[in-house]
Structure formats: structure tokens, C-alpha cells
Amino acid sequence: MIRAATAALLACVFTLPAAAETVAITGGRVVTMGQSGEIERGTVVVRDGRIVAVGAHVAVPPDAKIIDATGKTVTPGLVASGTALGLIEVRTVETTDDRGTSARDLSAAFDAGYGLNPDSLLIPVARLGGITRAIATPAYDDKAGRELLFAGQAAAIALDGAPMLMRRGVAMVLEMGDAGAERAGGARAAELVALRAIFAEVRDFKARRAAYDRGETRTYTLSRADLEALVPVVEGRMPLLVSVNRASDIRDVLALARSERLKLILEGASEGWRVASDIAAAGVPVLVTPVENTPASFEALGATLSNARRLGEAGVTVAIQGNGNHREREMRYNAGNAVANGLDWQAGLAAITINPARIFGLSDRIGSLDPGKDGDVVVWDGDPLDTLARPVAVLIRGAEQPMHSRATELRDRYLPTVLSPANGEKP
Amino acid sequence: MRMRAITVIAAIALAGCAAGERPQPSVAPTAEASAPPIDRDPYPSTYRAPAAGQVALVGATVLTATGDEIANGTVLMDGGKIVAVGAGLTVPDGYARIDARGKWVTPGVIDAHSHLGVWSQPDSVEANNDVNEMTDPNTAQVWAEHSIWPQDPGFDTAREGGVTTMMVLPGSGNLFGGRTVTLKNVPSVTMQGMKFPGAPYGLKIACGENPKRVYGGRGRSPATRMGNVAGYRKAWIDAQDYARRWDKWEKGGRVGDAPKRDLQLETLAGVLKGEILVQNHCYRADEMANMIDIAHEFGFRIRTFHHANEAYKIAPLLVKEDICVATWTNWWGYKMEVFDALEENAALVDAAGGCAIIHSDDPVLIQHLNQEAAAALSSAWRAGIRITKADAIRWFTANPAKALGIADKVGTLEAGKNADVVLWSADPFSIYARAEKVWIDGGIVFDRGDPAYRRHSDFLLGQPGETR
């Protein structure tokens, strides 16, 4: 009885993230995605939330908790972009969906870094897919007569159940192409003209804030909060994350960014492979979902499984996305599919680790196993891009994460009713 | 005129062939009877198998979907049929020999739940959405085959994923969505050219949130789950009455006017007679249990629960009732009734001794059913459930064949079965495996090494994609 209680207590203790401790992950094949490259049998030491040593001949500190990774693969924690993790629970339950707003005067100023829910049940599910960080990305909440040009600002978050905001305002989110044209009044040209006008307003506002507050400027179409939010965008400090697919739309966005001197990230880019050299020449990174190869709209007729490979070959920095929110854990399978269709394996892993970290300005903290970075480490029982492999340990900010979710608890509740001893012994 | 009459007779004879399992009516108008004959197969299959030779796949790892994994296996196909499967078989003279060493061979992939052709690409275009006749909670009278657009580019990409057969269903907005159709995944200008000869029809029934949301939102029934059940029961009572009136007329020597045909009730009566298989969209365990009781109340069987994300909660009941479960691995949480979905659902049904199926319901996922099954398999291993690849291959081959009522023809690699075969570049449970060659009835329909087999759809011709 006492033993059972002690065991339960211990189990409880072990499932709680413990921040300030030293952990050594030993003997694994370490794919650092950083300065140490790939180490056949290496050790990663994490102390007080940070990586302190990575290498083949690293001494294990005597006080370290050891995770034996012999025969396993060790990678940086995966970084999911384009998610609503922390912002959504059940799509059809409106009160649990905080991805977007139709509030007047709140478009560019909408900030996904507020209102995040670290207790969301989606978080452990994503984590069991090896995801340790995410870009919480606003979505449009279109209402008739309230079609907003900008969805708002994305935020970088950590998935360790603690207060999750890592960095606010990592990108300004905008849809162009079919959806953007619809919001701007039904034509692509309308959106392009409206955007140029808005950027001019923002520059005017930036130069004349005091006059604006005295009511001495002309009337702007955007609210003060929206104008203020767009200042870092026109200054080229905050990237404009543009969802766009058609080759001609991509060219238009590149031209817009060039003339307005914007920092750009492309998302979707179904036909990116057709203008890959233009994208590469502009130094613009692309977020793709490699399995999205159906011609789902007239702007994606050229969608193909080879998109990620061709963009990569052209020299474009590619990050690979998951299949959205509840299905974010499929991100690594998407990378695997890109590799199956010709992308180099290292590039496939980079596309879900260091590349998204770089694209969103987070590579000082995450994305690779380099000393000084946050202790986000995943130990896999196989190839991290393969469906047959699973994480066996996940560390975020140096703390071991629980390896269960509500779904695994449900599984364990019903397993005995299904699994007779005979079934357990199936050949 | 005479020639034309002969042609018509020939067509009817062919239709009879194609109908296969379904009984043809022997109703002939007599002096007393005034009923026109009922054609039970009015839109007959015109499918013709692609040219099939003698092919030997040699040296592969073969997953037969009968429970075997054969190393260094050989699969022999002749005249559209599998003639032999085994380790180290001698290849008879005349066979085209394909070196499959290092590769894997499985039966053709079968998707038990697709909307290809009825909700075609580009699927954002409203004109391409013919999936849900949401004008009444009971539209058992509509047939999915009459919505099929064979030029949906999704058929081609699915074929590149190894899919040789699929069941296309109407949507889930109604209690009774209409008849399903089973298709062979061959390029065709007509639906009839894809229609699987001899495959029984299914009836799509939907539980739960969708019907009550659609009709409740319009201020009419069903607005609740109890309204859903009342709707099913009323329909089955009407169907029993309809079947009784026809039986009475038949047994009474067909004297007097026959009852008037009613397309809706005819389909429901077909279920009561066991000729049409119930394909039931139903997520929650409690609702599946209710549907099973309704089936008992009215004396029909449910062949498959689709989506069925809570099947694991009632797996022994589903085994006892011999109902298949077609589900996903990774989909969950997009509405309340899928809140309790597990990656392990299919594996738990399998472990209980049931018929587990991984389905797609999606034009992207249909291309990756092997990967979705692989994720289910690894989730099972993580939970300590011992299932082999030789077992799990059934989830997208033999078990959907059973659910669709075509297990006597396809779904396994056994002598005598139709030669629907996929040659994979690697273990199909690996993320890196791609279908290299695909055969339907012994004829090759996809070859990754030959551009002639890519992108047949007229729609993409001349468009700015890879076809240019």
C-alpha cells in the first residue's frame, strides 16, 4: 500500500517538468543542425535550461541525470510554424477559438501573443510529435463588412506547459492571392493598391505621430493601433508573412516587398517551384506543406510533391509546416514526404528545426544543439522523419517533459477492456 | 432498326454480367400485371480491364494481406488474375520478369471512404462540389455515381499512391445521404467505365453533429441526436411498409397494379433485403451502440462504421456484431464528437479481433494511406500491442475489401484474386516508400518511371502545372 503510494508519488514527481537540473543525453547519434554537425556517438549536456556541451568526448557531470540514448537519434526540438497552438481547443466551439478577431480597428494590431493557453490539450499531443516550439499564427475571422487586410501578429511560443510566450510580434500575417483579393473587394489589383496606400499611410503616421495625436493629419483608413503595429513592418524589422500560391502572385508580392523595402516570408507557395529562382534571388524564405499537391484552387494548379525539393535546389530557405493545430504532429511526416520526393534528409530535418528558427529570428535561442541555446532536445527511437519512429524523451528549456497526453490516458483507460492476454501475445 | 435492337439486347446481357452478385429481376409483364420491369442495374459498369499479360515480380518482400510476410517472394500474374504467390517460385516461360529485389509488394490500396469525383479538384470551386444533397434529412434516393466527375485530378494522384479501388460516398449532412459507388481507379471518360463490376451498393447514413447542425440550423428536424434517431426510425418504418407492399404484390401473383416505385424507399428496402450495405458515418461509442440497436429493431446489418473514433471504447461489441471500423490515425479535435480520438483506434479494434480500416475521406490523405497506417502501427507498438506489418497491411487492403463487399475479388494476394498489385520502392510502412508500379486486373496503370502514366485528367491539360 505504502509502496504503491510512493510509486504513484514518484511517477507524479517525474512527470512534472523540473527546470533547474543537469541532464546528460549520452551515446546517441546526435544530429545537431548546428556547428557540430552530426556526431555518431555523442553526448548533449543541458544545465539550468541551457545546452552547455555537445560532442563525442564530452565529460558527463557527476550530478547529471543520464538519459541513455544508445542506438537512438538525438535532434533539436522541432519548431512548428503556421500553427494556432495555444489559441484553439475545438474549432466548432467558438469560445475556445482565439485565433482571430472581427473587431473594428483591430487588424494588424491583433497580437497572438496575448491570451495563450498553456493548458491546451493540443500542446502535449504536439509535444509527443517532437514539437517543442511553435509560431502561434493569427487567422482571419471574416465577417460581412469587416474583411480585414491583415490577420495580425504571430508570436513564438514554448510548449512546456509553463507561460508559453517566447517572443511577441515575430511576423505580420497577410493573405494574398484568392483570399486576399476577396477581402480587398474582389480583385488582386485592389489588394495590391490598398497595401501600397496603407504602407504610405504608415510611413506618414510614423513621421507625424504628434500631429496625428493633435488631430492635425489627414484621416487614415486604419486605426492608431493598426498603424502603430505596421511601423516595424515598413521599417523592415518585422517580417511580413504572406500566404500566397500562384506563381504570378508570388512575383507580385516579391515586387511589392522590393519597392516597399519589406522583409518577407512566403507561406504556401504551391507554385513556388515555378518561380524558385526569383524567390531565391530575393533571399525570401518559404514555409511549405509538401503533401499539399492537389490543385485545390485555380491559384494552386501547379501544386506538386516536388515543390520543397525544387525550392531547396534553387537555394531557397525552406521550412516545412504541419497539417494544422490538432494535426501539427504530422509535420515531421511532411518533412519525410519531402525527402521521399527528393529533398535531402538533412534539409528535411533543417526545414523543421533550424530553418523555421532562423526565419522567425529565433535561432539565437533554438533550432540547433549548440552550447548556449535553450535545452530543447528530442530523443527518437528511430528516424525522426519516419512514422514508425517516436520520441522517447523530450526536453524543453532543459526540463524533461511528460510523455503522455489526454489521448494516451484515454488509451490506457480502455486498453484493458480490449487487450486480453491472448491479444497482447499476437505474433 | 433491327441492328439497334440487337445492340440493346447485348447491352442488357452485359449489364447482367456486370451486376454480378445482384439478382436480376425476372419480372415480365403479364396480361394481369401492369408493372414495367425494374432494371436493378440501370447504370451498368462498362469497365474493361487494361491489357494484361503474364508478369512475374521476383525477389520482393511480399505482404499478402492474408497474414503472411514472404521474404524473397514471387508474385505471378496472368490474364488479370494472381496465379501464384510464394518464396522462390520458378518463373514459367513467357512471363515478363520484373526484378523486385529490395522492394515490397502488396495488394492494391483500397480506400473505404473517398469523395473523389463527387467533390472534385479544384475543391474550392463550388461548381465542383456535388457531395451533399442537403435539401432534406433523408435523401436515400440520390446515388453518388450520378455526381462523379471522372476528370477529378484526385483520381490520378491517388493512383500514384497505390490506390486501385475506392468507395465514393455522399456527404454526411443528411441522416440518409444516398447510395455509395465503388470504383476502379482507372482513367475513364465516364463513371460507368470506372464502376467496379459486381460491387454491391452501399447506403450512407450519418450520425451525430452534422445532420443536427444542418437541419437544426434551419429550424427543422433533426435538431438533436434524439431527433436524428427519430428520423432513422421513421424512414425504416416507411421502408418496411414499402417492402411489404411489394412482397404482397409479388406473392399475390402480380395481380393488379404494382405499387409505385419510390427511389428513396427502394434503396432503404434494399438494405432490409441485405442487398445494399450500410456505411454509417458515426463517431461516438454511445451513438454507434444506438445505431446497432436500430439495426436490430428493423432487421438489417451495419457493415461499417466510418470515422468511428470511439470504436476503441466498444471494440468487443463491434467484434460481436461483425462491423468494420474505418478510421484515421491523426485526425482529432476539429469538433466535439472527435474529441476522444486516439492514434491507436485502429490497432485497438484489430487487437480485439475486429476489422480495422484506415480510410482517407480526403484527396491528400488518400495518397498516403500506407503512412497513416504506419503511424497507427507505431502507436500500437508504443502501447505494447503486438501487431505485425503482415497484420497491419490489411487495414488498407483486405479489410476495406470486406467492408465494400468485394473481398472475393480483391484485397489480398492469393491465387485466383484479381491482380490488383502495388510494387513499392521500400517497406510501405516507411515514410520514404513510394508506389513504383501499380496494376489493376493485371494491367499496368501507373509506372513512376514512365511519364505516360502521370496526370491523365483533361482538366489539367494545358494548365500551368507539370503537364506543360
- The domain locations on chain B are 109-411
A206 shares its domain with A294: yes
Indicate whether A180 and A248 sit together in one domain: yes
Q: In what order do the strands lie in the sheet with B202-206?
A: B176-179, B202-206, B277-282, B302-307, B324-327, B356-358
Sequence-distant (≥ 6) Cβ neighbours of residue A424 within 8 angstroms = B351, B384, B385, B386
In this prediction the ipTM stands at: 0.93
pLDDT digits (tens, 9 = 90+) for B323-363: 999 999 999 999 999 999 999 999 999 999 999 999 999 99
CATH number of residue A419's parent domain: 2.30.40.10
Say whether B464 and A92 touch across the interface (CB within 8 A): no
Beta bridge partners of B446: B438
* Cβ-Cβ contacts under 8 Å, A302 against chain B: 463-466
Report how far apart, in Å, the C-alpha atoms of A421 and of each of A236, B67, B87, B124, B379 are. Answer: 63, 20, 32, 49, 19
Q: Residue B26: what pLDDT?
A: 46
Which one, of B387, B303, B69, B395, lies nearest residue A418 by Cα?
B387
Per-residue pLDDT averaged across B224-237, rounded?
A: 98
- Closest in B316, B330, B382 to A330, CB measured: B330
Kindly report the CATH number assigned to the domain that includes residue A314: 3.20.20.140
Distance from CA of B110 to the nearest CA of A (A): 20
| pLDDT digit string, tens, across residues A85-96 | 999 999 999 999
**CB-based contact (8 Å) between A58 and chain B?**
no
C-alpha to C-alpha distance for A265 and A287, rounded to whole angstroms: 8
Residues of A in contact with B316 (CB under 8 A): 417-418
Share of chain A above pLDDT 70, in %: 93
- Predicted confidence (pLDDT) at residue B127 exceeds the cutoff of 60: yes
Residue B468 confidence (pLDDT) above 90: no
The residue among A366, A381, A412 that closes a domain is A366
What is the reported pLDDT for B11? 36
Say whether both A177 and A296 belong to one domain: yes
A185 in the same domain as A105: yes
Whether the predicted pLDDT of B7 surpasses 70: no
Residues 6+ apart with CB under 8 A from B373: B329, B346, B358, B392, B393, B395, B396, B429
Domain residues for the domain of A191 are 78-366
Percent of chain B clearing pLDDT 90 (strictly above): 88
Q: Mean pLDDT in runs of 10 for chain A (427 residues)?
A: 42 46 97 98 98 97 97 98 96 94 90 97 98 97 83 98 95 97 94 96 97 93 95 98 98 98 98 98 98 97 96 98 96 98 98 98 98 98 98 98 98 89 45
Contact B124 A329 (CB under 8 A): no
Do A82 and A173 belong together in one domain? yes
User: Which residues 159-188 of B are in CB contact (within 8 Å) with A?
Assistant: none
Are A161 and A283 in a shared domain? yes
The total number of structural domains in chain A stands at: 2
The answer to whether the CB atoms of B333 and A426 lie below 8 A apart is no
Q: How far apart are CA B333 and CA B340, in angstroms?
A: 8
Bridge partners for B306 per DSSP: B281, B326
Which residue, A366, A385, A406, sits at the end of a domain? A366
Taking only residues 72 to 91 of chain B, the set having a beta carbon closer than 8 angstroms to any beta carbon of chain A reads none
Does residue A255 share a domain with residue A178? yes
- Say what the pLDDT of residue A17 is: 47
| Mean pLDDT score of chain B | 93
pLDDT at A422: 53
DSSP assignment letter at A239: P
A401 and A345, same domain (yes or no) = no
User: Residue B25 has which C-alpha cell?
Assistant: 429481376
Residues A57 and A91 in one domain: no
Give the closest residue to B14 by CA, choosing from B50, B39, B33.
B39
pLDDT digit string (tens) for A31-59?
999 999 999 999 999 999 999 999 999 99
What is the pTM for the complete model shown?
A: 0.93
- Of A338, A366, A394, which closes a domain? A366
Residues A142 and A157 sit within 8 Å (Cβ to Cβ): no
CB A122 within 8 A of CB A325: yes
User: Domain B109-411 falls in which CATH fold?
Assistant: TIM Barrel (3.20.20)
Quick one: A146 and A11 in the same domain? Answer: no
- Answer yes or no: do A1 and A113 share one domain: no
> Looking at A159-274, which runs of residues are DSSP E strands?
165-175, 240-244, 264-268
* CA-based nearest distance B246→chain A, Å: 44
B73 contacts: CB under 8 Å, gap ≥ 6: B59, B60, B61, B62, B85, B86, B87, B105
- The phi, psi pair for A122, rounded to 5°, reads -75, -25
Q: Is residue A174 domain-shared with residue A306, that is, in the same domain?
A: yes
